Amino acid sequence: MPSGPREIITPFRPIPLDVPEGMKPNEFFNSTENLNDLVHNNGLLQNPEGLLLYRKALGHSNEFDTSIIYNTSRTILDPLGRPVRRTQVPEHVKHVWNRMNQIIYDYMLETYPDPERHLVLAGEASLDATWPLTSPGVPSIRMLHNHFIVFDKAQLAAAPLADEANPNLTDGGQHSLFQAHLRDVYRAFFDELDLEILRPCTPGSCKIAITGYPQGLPSWEVTGGAEALKEVRFWKEYDTLLKGFIDFYRTFFGQVSTRNAAMPRDIYFPDLVENKLLFNNDLLKTAKMIRDHCITDAKYANAIRWQPAFKQLIYRNDAGKLIVTISQNSIGNAITELLGVVVKRTPDADAYGQAEPALIEKLLDVRKRLVEADLGTGIGTPHWGAE
């Protein structure tokens, strides 16, 4: 069986929402009205911290697919002022969110114990407005949310190979700016972070055999497996990777934007940035190359995300180990593509209806565990009750 990214078809039931005349879809989906529909038609659980567990109406997988969103639609009306990454979430909210993450991930591993049969993943993607609003793929809901997804590996194996030139697969080593020009600098920077539970993977050992992904990305094995996710230390290290990525990204593109720019404000690891980045000839040489290109190529400059854009996830590899990885200079908008899974969503109410009962049963099971752990109360919808 050839290894390569796969494109699967996932049917969905068309959402009965009309976008008001004169509004673009991404503008409407950021509205409080749309979030009300998310709660009342797809909501599973909510809590006083503002975290909402919901069924993905436009899902990646009909095997298991749910999300938690930090629903600030009523408290922060400015979509550009809402938290969009873990580092922007208040500590008391993040504490509850991490516990929810752990319980849901544990449920997925218990329900799908065989790594040869199912690909299990969870994580989040950047929702920053870091590229032109007129471009395809602009986030439909500008609020921090994460994904919990399970794919049937038999379905992946039977799916056709995806086009490797698909722009949403650009986390691969053949496309990534960091991977092509800053591989050694990037990895050396991450090697200096204070990590105990997360242990660097040897190159190539963390790939999913069916897809051959992730490609070219630094990855870390979770020592202790699922039990480690119950430790506060794990989630602090998970945040450390994101903070390190943000420092690297902001520092590099700050130098691209302005020659010999000062260190960005609010850097998490200033000594590391000063010693490993701002005095590194390879990083500054690459920044000059990109800056010179931007000056002479308007289209190229317009395509750059000047602020950190990332995908970060925890997934189970073929050997059953839990792996953490984070993307580099991604322009894709679907977290599954980090693992080489391209999802083509198609409207088909009948096909979705066949998978829906089993999917809802699992989502209600995991909701019960969250309620028992005092992590929220159930939401009743036309499709299921509040308990």
Distance CA 189, CA 31 (A): 39
Contact residues for 240 (Cβ-Cβ < 8 A; gap 6+): 193, 194, 195
Q: How far is CA 262 from the centre of its chain?
A: 30
pLDDT given for residue 129 in this prediction: 55
**Burial state string for 214-242 with b = 16 or more CB within 10 A and e = fewer than 16:** bbbbbbbbbeeebebbeeeebbebbbbbb
Q: How many residues does the chain have?
A: 387
pLDDT given for residue 175 in this prediction: 53
pLDDT given for residue 172 in this prediction: 47
Distance CA 72, CA 40 (A): 16
Distance CA 325, CA 249 (A): 16
Distance CA 150, CA 122 (A): 9
Q: Burial of 173 by CB count in 10 Å (0-12 exposed, 13-18 middle, 19+ buried)?
A: middle
Distance CA 189, CA 87 (A): 19
Helices (H), the chain: 25-29, 32-42, 91-111, 153-158, 177-181, 183-191, 232-257, 270-276, 281-296, 298-303, 349-372
Q: Which sequence spans correspond to the domains of the chain?
A: 6-378
pLDDT given for residue 282 in this prediction: 96
pLDDT given for residue 15 in this prediction: 77
Q: Are 257 and 288 in contact (CB under 8 A)?
A: no
pTM score of the predicted model: 0.93
Distance CA 3, CA 213 (A): 9
Strands (E), 153-223: 198-200, 219-222
Helices (H), 18-132: 25-29, 32-42, 91-111
| 244-301 pLDDT tens trace | 999 999 999 999 999 999 999 999 999 999 999 999 999 999 999 999 999 999 988 8
pLDDT tens for the 387 residues of the chain, in order? 789 999 999 999 887 777 788 877 666 766 777 778 788 889 999 999 999 999 998 889 999 999 999 988 888 888 778 888 899 999 999 999 999 999 999 999 999 999 999 999 999 887 765 555 555 555 556 788 899 999 999 999 999 999 877 767 765 444 578 878 898 999 999 999 999 999 999 877 899 999 999 988 889 999 999 999 999 999 999 999 999 999 999 999 999 999 999 999 999 999 999 999 999 999 999 999 999 999 999 988 877 878 887 889 999 999 999 999 998 765 555 789 889 999 999 999 999 999 999 999 999 999 999 999 999 999 999 999 998
Distance CA 379, CA 111 (A): 23
Q: Are 385 and 55 in contact (CB under 8 A)?
A: no
Q: Max alpha carbon distance in the chain (Å)? A: 60
